[in-house]
Amino acid sequence: MDRGPGGAGVTMVFALISAYVAAKTPFGRQVYAVGGNVRAAALSGVRTNLIIVSVYMISGFCAAFAGLIVASELVAAQPASGETFELNAIAAAVLGCASLSGGCGTIAGT
pLDDT above 90 covers what percent of the chain?
Answer: 35
**CA angle 61-65-66, nearest 5°?**
115
User: CA separation (Å) from 8 to 15, 43, 69, 70?
Assistant: 10, 40, 10, 11
Read off the pLDDT of residues 27-80 as tens digits, 9 standing for 90 and up: 999 998 998 899 999 999 999 999 999 999 999 998 898 888 888 888 877 777
- Residue 3: pLDDT over 90: no
Q: Which amino acid is at 26?
A: P
Residue 27 has what DSSP assignment? H
In angstroms, the CA 106 to CA 86 distance is: 19
